Structure 1
Amino acid sequence: MMLDRILMYQGKKQVFGTQASSLLREDGSWVIWPVENPESVDTRRKEAGFTNSVTESADSMDAIYNPEEALPKNE
């Protein structure tokens, strides 16, 4: 989780999909920060000991998970 948080603060994609933010969308809705290789994120989560999928985690945070979510543009 700490790795994901550090990557998020650096403006990079996270590994396990543990971090959410309200800064990605203009409406302020909470979304899972973009994830590197989203097609295998749940496998990585399971290997690391997480007991739920990124979608289940998003639901528990009342956040949206979109595997296509883009990183914010540097302005």
Structure 2
Amino acid sequence: MSPESLTAVAGLVRGAAAGMSAAEVARALQASRVTARRYLEYLAEAGAVARHLRYRGAGRPEVEYRWLRGRPAAQ
């Protein structure tokens, strides 16, 4: 994992008013969705973000990642 990319992902999610999906993070950072998801899952396993399911009509729910208040950015 790149420390620079991890810091960018963490900063983006921490600064978001609402949770973000891997696709939204990928678009914002001009990265692939798979790469964004890998970093988000790392942050989830580290306890910095929480996973929630986002339901939007028909189809599969999207995983949304929300920063846990009071947590420092993962380094």
Q: TM-score range by the shorter chain?
A: 0.3 to 0.5
Q: What TM-score do you get using the length of structure 2 for normalisation? A: 0.33
Q: Which has the higher strand share?
A: 2
Q: What TM-score do you get using the length of structure 1 for normalisation? A: 0.33
Return the structure number with greater relative CO, CA threshold 8 A, min gap 6.
2
Q: Which has the higher helix share?
A: 2
